[in-house]
Structure 1
Amino acid sequence: MLTEEAILGTILKAPHLLGDSDLKPEYFQVGENRNIFLSMKELAAKGQAIDLVTLLTTGKPEEFGGAGKLNRIQNMANELKFDSYVELLIDNWREKEKLNILEIAKYENWNLDKITTELNNLVANKVDDYNDIKELVLEVVEEPWNSKEKPEGIPTGIKTLQDSTNGWQNSDLIIIAARPSMGKTDVMLHFAKQAGWHGCIPIIFSLEMSANKLRDRLIASTGNYNRSKMKNLYKRLSDGQKGTWMDAIGKVSETNIQIFDKSGQTVQEIRMKVRKVKNQFPGKQLMIFIDYLTLIKAKEEFKGNMHLAISDISKSLKAIAKEFNCPVVSLAQLSRSVEKRPDKRPMLSDLRESGSIEEDADIVMFLYRDAYYSKDENDDSLEMILAKHREGGVGTLHAKYNMFTGAIHDV
């Protein structure tokens, strides 16, 4: 079967997928393919490499269909479609099992209750989100008498925001929205640095700005350098600033930020790359950042319908947050309609024309700088407007924003 071969070929190209999937030998209906899969599992258990050479030298090529077959299936690899291939494979196996159950039921003259039970058991094998409330409440039964504080989420680096949210929480989708030039990217980089300095692995998907430009922004905000100086460091940095340069470089390096800057990435590409980073840093807490939501490439079926396309993307980002059990922060650009009001502070209604972003998000935070409209360069106030907070209160929080360095500070 082509689906089986495509899955095996993809694992040959990206062996980490073997451990990330719930594949079982019985899902493979072709004997040769099942043998390849079993050999891969055996190699993984021994800590050996999963590749064409190792398979051929440690196994029996004739059981795999020969070296020619392994070469052929390797050319069928497609990481982007791996999840959909696995889903198709399991669905095919389940349909085959249903037919087997009905055949046995007919032969052994089962009653209706037994047939129903067996079919329900088969469907139950698909369920991976089952939770028994009895087990869930046992986890918190003693909390009212336990003085131990609930662990905080990933630090935000802004005290008032930290107090309001208890830090960024796993599986949350956080939308940070604003008009252009309000400091969205700098705020995102601030949160990424804070996450990295506290032991997390921040992953940034920059769909507009290059990795080099993000690097320069990170260094400027960390070293407190005017961004205009980054264009010619040799000429524009003072001797004093050159003296702090290596310290700034070191601090930025310590963030462990991972950047993907290809434009027009799809949700599937984002998911695949997150999985790769997770495999690269096993056991580490991830935090995902996207700059910005509407630049994610929509599925073909939604081309021409921006509302449905954005809704599908925001729902998919929430699914990624749950799948990898980490916060996902996505920037969003607000339309010009905000500018038409006397009070230009954004409101939730400004998001409602953008699909189901407001509905899917756990937190919606708007950014507003009065200095952008007043042109007052001495006004460094930044308003962080918590307009939606599924697990807490809303309101306006205050921070300081240096528009020249990109640094964010507490008031």
Structure 2
Amino acid sequence: MIAEKAVLGSMLKENYLITESGLAVSQFANPVHKMIFQSMKELRASGKAVDFVTLLTTFSPQDLGGANYVKDLTNYAHIEKFDDHVGAMLDVWREREKQNVLQIAGQENWPIDRVMSELDALMDNRVSDHANIFDLLMDVYEDPFTEKGIEEGAPSGIGKLDEMTNGFQDGELVILAARPSMGKSDVMLHIAKNAGWEGRLPIVFSLEMSDTSLRDRLLASTGRFSRIRMRDPYSLFSDSQKGNWVKTIGRVAETNIQFFDRSRQTVAEMRMKVRKMIHEFPEMKPVILIDYLTLIHSEDQVANKHLQVSQITKDLKGMAREFNCPVITLAQLSRAVEQRHDKRPLMSDLRESGSIEEDADIIVFLYRDAYYSKDEKDNVLELIVSKNRNGPVGTAYAAYNKFTGEVVGIGADSERAIS
């Protein structure tokens, strides 16, 4: 029953979890907990706040286990572990329902296919994934005869890349991979701010850099300020740069980017934070960006790194589908790249490449020839789309300024950007 108390306590602290959880009253075992959850749902449906006071003044305290019992629930609350507690609660519910099914099946002599069907249905307890082909076909019946725009995903701000992907699509897991110092974080921020300017809600999980460092990078790339000068704008900025400062701050503010910069975050913790942001900004579709994959903390305490990464990528793909939004994750490449004459990355260069390649919908490698040639005039950044589940592969080109972090898309046929 502790899991049920933790679920109810978390709901008292964060009311949006009452509806977001997708739970039914029948899935609680304790009769008092059933009454509390039903009362919460009724208050929530009426638009009222759900807390200790409203529960006890709207409903009979005796039916809810008494004032002390309701008040004590908040001591069990753990928002970041909410999904785990829901999972534990549902495991108990499934076992209870399984025993009921088997008992009734024995009494009524059900055929084996009905028993299997009922048991399978227990796994589908929070949202239905059933779709009738008839309904699916009706959705597209008029498509050849009715003009409608193509739904574009979250933009990258790099023209050729957006052509190949039609923007990053809802439910997709996107991997941006490169060796260190290729510009991964700057490309991530470029995508975040362009998505924000197009009305999306960029949610950035930075497991390595602080939120202030990312803020400064955004200001530098947007205002075209040298990062060296950004260390002391008062002394090092020119008058024109100081004049552009307030305008740049206003432009960056329009991105509405949300940062979470605590290290060693798990996917479960990220889900809870995304859910809260969606509740706070219900009118905006999120885009989730994570820096970076192997810094995500695994909840599975197994020594095998490959198994950990495999589970994390599956969880990230599940998160993309759960929130129906793109999840864009940065990844490091192995040192094998450095051993080849052509140092453009390959799929095999991905660390723990098997699981990443399997779960990702899009894999984009970043490559700058200037990193190896040391040619200061060469500012071309290649974005090599090596996997695209729903579109073509190929290479997009951008001009990259390593001093400001600015990324600007250039023509697909250009071999070198114009300085």
The two structures have a TM-score, normalised by structure 2, of: 0.92
- Alpha-carbon distance in structure 1 between the residues aligned to 2:120 and 2:92: 13
Q: Identify the residue that residue 405 of structure 2 maps to in structure 1.
A: 406
What amino acid sits opposite 2:53 in the alignment? Answer: V
Report the counterpart of residue 312 of structure 1 in structure 2.
Answer: 311
Following the alignment from structure 1 to structure 2, what is the Cα–Cα distance between the partners of residues 103 and 177? 53
**Does the aligned pair in 2 maintain the 1:225–1:405 contact within 8 Å?**
yes
**In 2, distance between residues paired with 1:349 and 1:161?**
22
Which residue of structure 2 aligns with residue 112 of structure 1?
Answer: 110
Q: Does 1:218 align with 2:215?
A: no
Residue 417 of structure 2: aligned partner = none
- CA shift, 1:95, in A, is 3.2
Distance 1:394 1:3 in 2: 47
CA contact (8 A) 1:155 1:162 kept: yes
SS of residue paired to 1:62: coil
The number of residues matched between the two structures is 407
Q: CA deviation at 1:300?
A: 3.8
Aligned pairs (5 A) from 1:325-344: 325-344=324-343
State how far apart, in whole Å, the 2-side matches of 1:386 and 1:119 are: 43
Deviation track 1:135-187 (CA, whole Å, cap 9, x = no partner) reads 22222233233443322112221111111111110001110000111000000
> Can you list the C-alpha shifts for 1:79-136, whole angstroms capped at 9, x where unaligned?
2332232233334334333444555566xx52424x8647734643643222222222
Task: After TM superposition, list the pairs within 5 Å mapping 1:3-402 onto structure 2.
Answer: 3-103=3-103, 110-113=108-111, 117=114, 120-121=117-118, 123-124=120-121, 126-127=123-124, 128-302=128-302, 304-351=303-350, 353-402=352-401
Q: Shift of the alpha carbon at 1:24?
A: 1.5
- The answer to whether the 8 A contact 1:195-1:255 is kept is yes
TM-fit CA distance, 1:335 = 1.7
Give the Cα separation in 1 of the matches to 2:147 and 2:240.
Answer: 49
1:29 CA displacement: 2.5
Cα distance in structure 2, aligned partners of 1:244 and 1:349: 45
* Change over 3 Å in CA distance of 1:153–1:300 after alignment to 2: closer
Secondary structure of the equivalent of 1:393? coil
For the Cα contact (< 8 Å) 2:105–2:115, is it kept in 1? no
| Cα distance in 2, alignment partners of residues 392 and 39 from structure 1 | 48
> In the TM superposition, what is the alpha-carbon distance from 1:9 to its structure 2 partner?
1.1
Per-residue deviation, 1:189: 0.4
Kindly provide the amino acid, as one letter, of the partner of residue 390 in structure 1.
R
Q: Cα distance, 1:380 vs. partner?
A: 0.9
Partner SS, residue 5 of structure 2: helix
- Report the CA distance shift for 1:29/1:226 in structure 2 as closer, same or farther (over 3 A): same
Query: Following the alignment from structure 2 to structure 1, what is the Cα–Cα distance between the partners of residues 367 and 36?
Result: 57
Which range moved further: 361-370 or 65-74? 65-74
Contact 2:101 / 2:119 at 8 angstroms: preserved in 1? no
Q: Deviations over 1:51-74 (max 9, x none)?
A: 122222322222222222123221
Decide which moves more: 286-295 or 154-163: 154-163
- For 2:269 and 2:104, the matched residues in 1 are separated by 43
Give TM-score scaled by structure 1 length. 0.94
Contact 2:300 2:308 in 1 (8 A): no
Contact 1:176 1:367 in 2 (8 A): yes
Instruction: Provide the rounded CA distance (Å) in 1 between the counterparts of 2:72 and 2:231.
Output: 49
Give the SS at the match of 1:372. helix
More deviation, 74-83/365-374: 74-83
For 2:170 and 2:144, locate their aligned partners in 1 and report how far apart those are by CA, in whole Å.
23
User: What code does the residue aligned with 2:10 have?
Assistant: T
CA contact (8 A) 1:383 1:398 kept: yes
Give ranges in structure 2 of 5+ residues lacking alignment: 411-419
SS in 2 for 1:171: coil
Distance 1:17 1:379, change over 3 A: same
Q: Distance in 2 between matches of 1:40 and 1:119?
A: 34
1:280 partner letter: E
8 Å contact from structure 1 (residues 352, 358) kept in 2: no
Distance in 2 (alpha carbons) for counterparts of 1:293 and 1:285: 23
| Unaligned residue ranges in structure 1 (runs of 5+) | none
Q: 2 CA distance for matches of 1:59 and 1:261?
A: 41
Amino acid at match of 1:42: E
Cα pair 2:102 2:115 within 8 Å, conserved:
no
The SS at the match of 1:63 is: coil
**1:353 & 1:124 partners in 2: Cα distance?**
34
Q: Structure 1 residues 98, 311: closer, same or farther in 2, change over 3 A?
A: closer
Percentage of matched positions with identical amino acids = 54
In 2, Cα distance between equivalents of 1:369 and 1:404: 14
Distance in 1 of aligned mates of 2:45 and 2:380: 56
